[in-house]
Amino acid sequence: MTTGGTVRLNKRMAGLGLCSRREADDWITKGWVRVNGQVASVGLQVNDGARIEVDRRARGQQAAQVTILLNKPIGYVSGQAEHGHEPAIILIDARSRWRSDTSDLRFQPAHRKGLAAAGRLDIDSTGLLVLTQDGRVARQLIGSDSTMQKEYLVRVGLDGVATDVQSRFPLAQLARLRHGLVLDGESLRPAQVQWQNPEQLRFVLLEGKKRQIRRMCELVGLKVVGLKRVRIGAVMLGNLPAGQWRYLRADESF
């Protein structure tokens, strides 16, 4: 909420990239935030020139938060369990950690506490799913102002044909996939779409509407028969096996 040129402190802190709004409220409640030298209260309104200071204890708490990269298999939902399907977070345990993970972190049950998916990946899709305790990471990936690239490899069919689809697919329809489609009453942002081989397309999107790629393909007569996310920002899925996970390293960033 904005009042006379001011905004709530938690929103201002999130906008500055200090933390998520939820974290901000937690820190404020604990007395870890000062505004212009005074201990802040929950709901405080601040202007752009306010001096915000955060206690080092909050920084220590934030430094202990983990971000996990999972190669989600088919059959798991990204978030909460639904329609009898299990959430991807149940795959996060010591046994399913990738043996080639180079992180120095030792898995602890506390690393699952507050872990949430930063973006969706459909139940019938596979590939890179980010689960994080860090609100800054979540905002970077799925915030309303996010421009993070997501890359997918998409196997498609056309009119019941599963081979050499590229030769049968009109160039004008490929152009529509790149820019010109409307979903949920809104024009989609321009996308990078090109053929990887005669049966597989590479998509790079800047947004993530529900089942977006499948719906885009339907609009141009294509049927998706396989979809895998291989990159988010600068972080690649790489050789991470299906159903296994690793920690985001300190030297990595999206």
Which residues are marked as active site?
A: 122
Reported in sequence order, the residue ranges of 4-99 that DSSP labels E, i.e. its strands, are 6-8, 33-35, 38-39, 45-46, 52-54, 67-72
Helix or strand run (H / E) with residue 131: strand 126-132
Please measure the distance between the N-terminal and C-terminal CA atoms of the chain and give it in whole angstroms.
29
Distance CA 213, CA 105 (A): 35
Cα distances (Å, whole numbers) of residue 22 to 29, 42, 245: 11, 11, 26
| Residue 186 CB neighbour total at 10 angstroms | 10
Can you read off the two tokens belonging to residue 137?
Answer: 């990471």
Q: Which two tokens stand for residue 160?
A: 């019941």
